[in-house]
């Protein structure tokens, strides 16, 4: 009778094979990077043939006194200052956690990179907790082009103005909430407070599910989305290995089931209304992103409309809706928080914005809602308010740009003639470092909205391609017009009624943090933190009061 090997022996054999496979992959990855990048003398931190650049980040934390929850863009941005000769361009090898990258923070390289259409395959994994599958954000080729073309009509300016009601309703709800907070004199984390508002706003713009399913289910959906982000995008003190542990994967799967079941039911309910003719009669501008998706589905099945939506279609549509929810609330939340923060620190700018609102909408703040509903084009007159938002996005961009380098392609330094290969590497456009690059911005760390009102001969005038919070080129953000409209509506309905004051010193005192030990980056307590979209540290603790 044959004697079967014991479990420990089998386990040891499997582990040995796994380790051997990993070592082979490691050797191949390091050898490829050495021959294609290191040997050619490309700019990069000191490289180790075994560890690559895995120790570089830890050294950067010590060298630049970085905080452990700091957003990754600023970590690499600090390192980029060491590469002045290559105009802040440098390579890093962080395999197996990330594929090799070239990081850039100058407009001349960014303008070359923006022409590349493909996004890195890494994004499919990194965005999976948010999307649950391939989305318009991370797919490439025909799949990306077809999806973008389908969704794009929902983000055109005329369409957005006709849907402005959702932004107005949301701002009115915020006004009421602000008054309650002001009355109670409570300390509030402004960024986290805005999250709920922006999620409800995203629902109205993209699904309008609030009219289809219960509020309890919507809250469960938003809670699951935030949970996935909190667990997956842990701070840098928690390694990428921990993010792949079974417990976090189980949490991800549990939250994904909640989100997918919710959106699946929303789609079913809305599809029934479509089949009953309740939606097709609506004007085009009153249809949500989900309606655009369903309209396309029905046009492809007009000969025989199915009784129910097929599974394959749902599996494609749900990631598109999930990414819309994410981008619809994540970046807008942070930008609103930083806008109130910077206005509180720059009272003259706040005074100018309020004066502009008085000029465009009149001094009666109670009339703003009606004026916006009947004359949404008034928003186009808010030139200074728009400049403020653009300056906030310059100083605190919510994300960065990503591309995947093509075979045989190079980034070219026009001044030196140097060519930098992007073959087999991902291109990371560091918006935060680019937006504060002193080579391209006058007074880069100062809040000066006037730079976006200046003429071409003014030293403040932005260099072409240097401002890119929404990116440029074929992979630019399709929701940028919607985002700017939402921000302007919210500000015009709130900024004249309330004073918002940062309360970091009070927050630190309540949490036992001394003034000397409070974490900062380049003197900024409200530094950008997080590992998905960048958000203010500690959620931006503030005091809200009625304007005196």
Q: Per-residue b/e over 152-181, b at no fewer than 16 CB within 10 Å?
A: ebbbeeebbbebbebbbebbeebbeebeeb
Backbone dihedral region for residue 540 (phi beyond 0: left; psi -120 to 50: alpha; all else: beta): left
**131, 161 in Cβ contact below 8 A?**
no
227 phi, psi to nearest 5 deg? -60, -45
- The bridge status of strand 90-92 relative to strand 101-104 is antiparallel
CB count within 10 Å of CB 364 equals 10
Q: Hey, what are 506's tokens?
A: 């009070």
* Neighbour count for residue 190 (Cβ, 10 Å): 23
Using alpha carbons, select from 376, 515, 394 the residue that is nearest to residue 449.
Answer: 394
CA nearest 266: which of 315, 220, 214, 205? Answer: 214
> How many CB atoms lie under 10 A from the CB of residue 300?
9
To the question of whether residue 27 is assigned a binding role by annotation, the answer is no
- The residues near 473 (Cβ < 8 Å, ≥ 6 apart) are 114, 115, 116
Q: What are phi and psi of 172, to 5 degrees?
A: -65, -40
Phi, psi of 536 (to 5 degrees): -65, 140
C-alpha pair distances (Å), 531 with each of 293, 327, 537: 30, 14, 12
DSSP string, 141-210: HHHHHHHHHHHGGGGSHHHHHHTTHHHHHHHHHHHHHHHHHHHHT-EEEHHHHHHHHHHHHHHHHHT-GG
- Nearest in space to 504 (alpha carbons), one of 190, 67, 58: 190
Binding annotation for heme = 477
Binding annotation = 477
């Amino acid at each position: 009778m044959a004697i079967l090997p014991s479990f420990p022996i089998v386990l040891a054999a499997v582990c040995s094979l796994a380790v051997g496979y990993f070592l082979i992959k490691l050797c191949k990855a390091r050898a490829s990077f050495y021959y294609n990048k290191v040997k050619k003398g490309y700019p990069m931190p000191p490289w180790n043939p075994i560890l690559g650049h895995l120790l570089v980040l830890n050294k950067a934390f010590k060298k630049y006194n970085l905080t452990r929850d700091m957003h990754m863009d600023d970590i690499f941005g600090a390192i980029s200052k060491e590469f002045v000769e290559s105009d802040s361009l440098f390579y890093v090898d962080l395999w197996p956690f990330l594929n090799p990258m070239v990081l850039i923070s100058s407009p001349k390289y960014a303008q070359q990179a923006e022409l590349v259409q493909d996004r890195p395959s890494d994004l499919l994994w990194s965005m999976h907790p948010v999307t649950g599958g391939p989305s318009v954000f991370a797919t490439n080729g025909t799949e990306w082009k077809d999806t973008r073309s389908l969704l794009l009509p929902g983000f055109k300016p005329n369409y957005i103005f006709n849907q402005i009601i959702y932004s107005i309703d949301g701002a009115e709800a915020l006004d009421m909430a602000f008054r309650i907070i002001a009355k109670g004199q409570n300390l509030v984390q402004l960024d986290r407070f805005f999250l709920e508002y922006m999620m409800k706003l995203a629902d109205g713009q993209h699904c309008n599910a609030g009219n289809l399913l219960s509020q309890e289910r919507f809250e469960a959906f938003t809670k699951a989305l935030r949970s996935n982000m909190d667990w997956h995008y842990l701070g840098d003190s928690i390694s990428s290995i921990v993010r792949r542990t079974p417990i976090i994967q189980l949490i991800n799967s549990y939250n994904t089931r909640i989100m997918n079941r919710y959106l699946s039911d929303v789609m079913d309910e809305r599809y029934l209304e479509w089949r009953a003719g309740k939606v097709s009669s609506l004007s085009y501008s009153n249809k949500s992103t989900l309606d655009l998706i369903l309209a396309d589905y029905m046009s492809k099945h007009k000969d025989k409309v199915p009784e129910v939506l097929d599974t394959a279609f749902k599996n494609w549509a749900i990631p598109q809706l999930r990414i819309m929810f994410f981008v619809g609330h994540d970046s807008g939340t942070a930008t609103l928080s930083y806008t109130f923060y910077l206005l509180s620190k720059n009272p003259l700018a706040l005074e100018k914005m309020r004066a502009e609102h008085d000029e465009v909408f009149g001094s009666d703040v109670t009339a703003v809602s009606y004026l916006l509903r009947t004359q949404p084009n008034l928003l186009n007159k808010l030139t200074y308010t728009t400049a403020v938002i653009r300056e906030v996005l310059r100083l605190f961009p919510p994300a960065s740009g990503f591309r995947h380098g093509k075979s045989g392609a190079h980034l070219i330094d026009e001044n030196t003639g140097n060519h930098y290969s992007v073959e087999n590497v991902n291109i990371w456009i560091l918006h935060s470092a680019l937006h504060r690059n002193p080579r391209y911005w006058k007074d880069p760390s100062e809040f000066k909205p006037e730079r976006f009102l200046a003429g071409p001969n003014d030293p403040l005038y932005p260099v072409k391609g240097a401002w890119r919070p929404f990116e440029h080129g074929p992979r630019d953000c399709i929701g940028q017009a919607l985002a700017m409209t939402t921000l302007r509506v919210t500000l015009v309905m709130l900024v004249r009624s309330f004073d918002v004051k940062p309360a970091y010193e009070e927050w630190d005192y309540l949490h036992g943090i001394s003034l000397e030990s409070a974490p900062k980056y380049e003197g900024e307590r409200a530094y950008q933190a997080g590992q998905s979209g960048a958000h203010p540290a500690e959620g931006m603790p503030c005091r809200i009061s009625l304007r005196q």
